[in-house]
Structure 1
């Protein structure tokens, strides 16, 4: 279901352009530089998202990705910069890539140590206010496609409710 849910999330973006604000297509060489910088190999779904959308938001839901190749002097929604920053400042383990923030101290990450049958990393929740040895890591979604579809569907419902 991973890829099909990802495609459904993309359909939501395409059918609601007025609610979408993404940085746009990113080059494969930029994605590869990001992978090398983090020491991770991105999965098929997340890589497709980065190449086609980069990073950005749908409504109020901001998804982190790749902006440009300055991974040191950047800001949110640059997943590479933010992950490097948190590795340095909080000891974020290297198997995590931060892709989303709830705004209440909770971060959602791709966990490259928890891969499904399609080799897609699970989306997990971490709290930077606690030591990693003391927190329970919560599973949010089986993969990025499931996660993206869930947050975009919820946001679309919120937008539609506001219009009524």
Structure 2
């Protein structure tokens, strides 16, 4: 269902005629290398996003991913750089993958600590390093991506 939500979001973006900026899809080999570097396994819907787009920006909404620079990219929108930096600062846990900035403080990450294949997208505030509080904003990356794109289109 989550991959279907990503495909719906793609159709919505295309129907606006607005520019969709991507870095280009990446190989499954690069995705596996990124998983090893971050010591996690990406969700199937996020892998689909990476294979299709790499990274994506649409109407000010920037989703982090993998670029053709590979594992050594040292800037946003590389999900490896973003995740490792956020983990080092204590802004997310070791089981989270930082996929989007709010632009005003909170971070959006896929929480991979779940069980039974439930890996929600969570929002962590700047106080996360002290209180470890998370707010679930979507049940999956696909749902999150769809909702963010839908909101961006409504704001056009």
Q: TM-score, normalised by structure 2?
A: 0.89
SS at match of 1:150: helix
Question: Is residue 43–residue 120 contact of structure 1 (8 Å, CA) maintained in 2?
Answer: no
Residue among 119, 134, 145 paired with 1:148: 145
Distance 1:138-1:91 versus aligned 2 partners, 3 A rule: closer
Larger C-alpha radius of gyration, 1 or 2?
A: 1
1:142, distance to aligned residue in structure 2 (A): 0.3
Contact preservation (8 Å) 2:66, 2:79: yes
1:121 aligns with one of 116, 119, 122: 119
Deviations 1:88-115 (A, max 9, x none): 2326321100001111110000000125
Kindly report which structure 2 residues correspond to 1:45-64, keeping only aligned pairs within 5 A, or say none.
45-64=45-64
The TM-score normalised by the length of structure 1 is 0.85
Alignment of 1:14-163 (within 5 A): 14-16=14-16, 18-67=18-67, 68-71=69-72, 73-90=73-90, 92-115=92-115, 119-127=117-125, 129-159=126-156
What is the alpha-carbon root mean square deviation over aligned residues?
Answer: 1.9
Uncovered stretches (5+) of structure 2, i.e. residues with no partner = none
- What residue ranges of structure 1 are gaps of 5+ in the alignment? 160-164
